[in-house]
Amino acid sequence: MAKLSVNINKIATLRNSRGGDTPNVIQFAKDVQQYGAQGVTIHPRPDERHIKYQDAYDLKEIVHTEYNIEGNPISKFVEMVLKIKPTQVTLVPDAVDALTSNAGWDTIKNKEFLKEVIAEFKRNNIRTSIFLDPDLKQVEGAIATGADRIELYTEAFAHQYGLGNKEAIQPYLACATLANELGLGVNAGHDLSLDNISFFKAEMPGLLEVSIGHALVSESLYLGVENVIQMYLHRLK
């Protein structure tokens, strides 16, 4: 069974829109774990427009499942991760002004930089994952960086699947197969939803973890958070 890590950025976005503490990010993280989620994901950005850096520190005390912190490894981010020591850090090459993650790493061009950052995290016993487009060359490049896992960027799959094109899974299948052969763990995330997660999971060999936030929170508006988490867990079996 692939683990479900709930990305709680959207809860922080809603909280920040009113300048108060409702909904409470810490309580939401407690609740999703109680409802069965096997992990909590956050993606703090330099402008703190949703998850704030203080949230990342506060969550350390209450995330008893897997704690996954995503982000671009600028110095402030690296310093925070080394202090918190989450279960996993997922490196994402998003620009400072990016609305959301929109591309994976070029692991060949950025090999030396990624090697240096990943080595520091691994010295501190933090599992590392690299956000990647479904490209076989980039998967091969990930091995050279020393990463433990890759996270496949699934927006293209989700878009094409919504149009009825199930063949969009093929690049992801090829990358997952290669990653398994090379000894890399496989995670996935971005635009996965109740509509497409069953098919994606069934087709992906060795899928270890999915990180889902926007869709899960949106679906919960109609179906309820606890119910939606149980629906995901059922589909991920």
Which helix (H) or strand (E) segment holds residue 215: the answer is: helix 214-223
Catalytic residue among 43, 50, 209, 219: 43
Q: Is 190 a catalytic residue?
A: yes
Q: Which residues contact 81 (CB under 8 A, 6 or more apart)?
A: 69, 71, 89, 121, 126
Is residue 120 among the annotated active site residues?
Answer: no
> What is the distance between the alpha carbons of residues 115 and 131, in angstroms, rounded to a whole number?
14
Number of domains the chain is built from: 1
- Residues 58-77 have pLDDT tens digits of 999 999 999 999 999 999 99
Q: Are 183 and 150 in contact (CB under 8 A)?
A: no
**The one catalytic residue among 66, 151, 190, 219:** 190
Element (H, E) at 106: none
Percent of residues, the chain, with pLDDT higher than 70:
97
CATH number for the domain including 107? 3.20.20.70
Of 44-48, 65-69, 122-126, 192-196, the least confident = 44-48
Element (H, E) at 192: none
How far is it, in rounded angstroms, from Cα 24 to Cα 199?
A: 33
Residue 214 falls in the annotated catalytic set: no
CB-CB contact of 220 with 188 (8 Å): no
Which residues form the domain of 198?
3-236
Residue 99 has pLDDT above 60, yes or no: no
pLDDT over 90 percentage in the chain: 94
- Stretch 195-209: mean pLDDT: 97
